[in-house]
Amino acid sequence: MFNQGSVFARAFLYLTLYSICVISIIDKLNFDKEEDVTMRQTIALTVPYSNTHRTAEENLGLGYLAATLRLAGFRVEIIDGWLENLSHEEIVNCVVALPNLLLVGISAYRSSLENAARLVRDIKNRISIPIVAGGYGPTFFDEDFLAAGFDYVLRGEGEKSLSTLACVLSESGLILENVPGISMLSMGKVVRGSMSHCVEHLDSLPFPARDTVYSTIHSKNPISVSTSRGCLGSCLFCAVSAFARQHDGTRWRERSVKNIVNELEMLHQKYGAKCFKFVDDSFLEPPRGEIWAESFSNELYLRGLTEISFRTQVRADRLTNKIVEILSGCGWFATGLGVENWSVSALKRMNKGASIADNFLAMEYLERHGVYVQMGMILFDWDTTLVELKENLGILKDLSWPVTKGIFTETYVSAGTPNERLLLSRSDVQQKRSVLGHLEYRPCVPEVDVVYEALRLWHRSHSSVYDHAINPITAPKAIDRSMYRKYHDICRRLYSMDLVFFERVLEMAEHGISKLDVQTETMVQVSDFQTDYERIEREIVLLDQVCGIGYSAYPNPFLGET
């Protein structure tokens, strides 16, 4: 175990360590220009092939890590098995073929641990090399990743910690336990280093490496751009806030308008990029408001970026009609909106900052200006009541604009969240730990459990149709703007079909129909609607062909087996 020491001692230790790294960086940057590039130490950054219901997209995190490591003088190879559709064997072969390999970094979720562990095993069977895991999954499940064969886990944001780890491994006399955010095994026990501060000034980061940009453009995927990090919300279910709490520092940080537009301009001029996905967890936090929107719009206009389009994720209580008007005028065409629920009591349990009135106004503004809305919903948690379900059904039937990924949604109880602690404290709730790492539960109210199971069966029977239909809007795809409306129309038809079934099941539960009988009726309804969903799937495929896009994803693993 390492000595925790005082705050001042740790600060001095980090300063010393970073000073050594800086000297090392200078030495590396001053290497002889005649030296063959293959003589430099290489770091492989990879993403395992993922059996997910999401379609592959650019991994911006690896891009930031690669750019930071290259500034430190390392040779970096990004091997994105998910985006490049590489088989397990192809990823392993690419890694072991790299010259002067110093370290392998694997970005993973807890749900992809099995694939990641297989990568570790097969790489280590061929070469002896340190392998480190990073990302949301390893941050909250470091013990699982270490047990799976990883040498190290880096918790939290990785730019500082991975650069420091690389310096430690490439130099002698430095102590691994002093790498900020590191987890490792020592004498069979997990040793955790203290967390570093997050990157406060995002403009100080280099633009992310774009090694996979041509694969992204070829697939008609958007170019991912991060304009901020974190969120100021306090939702009890949110893993973003839990991740941010791993660091000392500000909960939400932003890049300057000029820095953002500099990157957009570079991507447009160098690669012809026009369609962007702003991957921020919360795009509009204070001080971003109407003045900021004007500044951003004006800067795009001054740079001649008048034909771009972009998608975001926003909070309802941060929108005004003026903000939506300004941003939609400079390319904002789609957004995720975390409504979560249309019942006041349910929102209170979630500790949501936005009210029902905020959500209605946001919907009104976005529809008025033609910004497509993927409505984030959490219909069920363990304390959901029939009254809350009826309140949701009533409002959902009145909405004419948003689209969803299906009617069945529940609180996902992620590790490290306040909801996880709350649920674990509830002995009256039936619960268990999923093989994917999150907590699963059943609603406490028997009638609600009837509706819960029926909607899950219904959703699971055609979840791939929902995911396929909404993908061009939410991914989004770089297609003609007129085509988004065609996909939107299909999503709205699916939405209406869901609500018809939701209303039917809710009536059955209210009348005391048994769970078995409701499930039997659900399967009858699934069979009756099967041809409708098959016809809609064919429509989507034809639209994909017209737009020149493909779709490749697995059924949603969080819904259980079909």
Render 325-389 in DSSP notation, one character per residue.
Answer: HHHHHTTEEEEEEEEE-S-HHHHHHHT-SS-HHHHHHHHHHHHHTT-EEEEEE--B-TT--HHHH
Q: How far apart are the first and last CA of the chain?
A: 47
Question: Tokens 């199971």, residue?
Answer: 453
Task: Give the per-residue pLDDT at 528.
Answer: 95
**Domain locations in the chain?**
7-192, 220-371, 379-562
Report whether 215 contacts 223 (CB < 8 A): no
Task: Give the per-residue pLDDT at 13.
Answer: 39
Report whether 349 contacts 383 (CB < 8 A): yes
Class of domain 7-192: alpha beta
**E strand or H helix at 152:** strand 152-154
Which residue(s) pair with 105 in the sheet? 45, 132
Tokens of 64: 């930031």
Alpha helices in 135-256 (DSSP H): 136-140, 142-147, 159-170, 213-218, 239-244
Report whether 335 contacts 400 (CB < 8 A): no
CA 249/CA 247 separation, integer angstroms: 6
Tokens of 552: 């490749």
Task: Give the per-residue pLDDT at 438.
Answer: 86
Task: Give the per-residue pLDDT at 52.
Answer: 64
CA 220/CA 226 separation, integer angstroms: 19
Task: Give the per-residue pLDDT at 413.
Answer: 92
Tokens of 257: 């308008």
How are beta strands 101-107 and 152-154 bridged, if at all?
unpaired
- Whether a cis peptide bond, with omega within 30° of 0, leads into 476 is yes
Going residue by residue through the chain, which has 562 residues, state the pLDDT in tens, using 9 for 90 and above: 334 343 333 443 344 444 434 334 334 333 333 334 445 799 999 998 766 667 778 999 999 999 999 999 999 999 998 888 899 999 999 999 999 999 999 999 888 899 999 999 999 999 999 999 999 889 999 999 999 999 999 999 999 999 999 999 998 667 888 899 999 999 999 999 988 778 999 999 999 999 999 999 999 999 999 999 999 998 999 888 888 777 777 889 999 999 999 999 999 999 999 999 999 999 999 999 999 999 999 999 999 999 999 999 999 999 999 999 999 999 999 999 999 999 999 999 999 999 999 999 999 999 999 999 999 999 999 999 999 999 999 999 999 999 999 999 999 998 889 999 999 999 999 999 887 788 999 999 999 999 999 999 999 999 999 999 999 999 899 999 999 999 999 999 999 999 999 999 999 999 999 999 999 999 999 999 999 999 999 999 999 999 999 887 666 666 654 3
**E strand or H helix at 278:** strand 275-278
Report whether 506 contacts 390 (CB < 8 A): yes
Angle between helices 60-71 and 159-170 (to 10 degrees): 40
Q: Which fold has domain 220-371?
A: TIM Barrel (3.20.20)
Task: Give the per-residue pLDDT at 112.
Answer: 86
Closest CA to 459 of 550, 374, 377, 342: 377
Q: How many CB atoms lie within 10 A of CB 100?
A: 13
The three state secondary structure string of 194-227 is CCCECCCCHHHCCCCCCCCHHHHHHCCCCEEECC
* pTM more than 0.85: yes
Q: Sign of the CA dihedral 447, 453, 456, 462?
A: negative
Three-state SS at 437 = coil
- Who's near 200: CB < 8 A, 6+ residues apart? 249, 250, 253
- Answer yes or no: same fold for 7-192 and 220-371: no
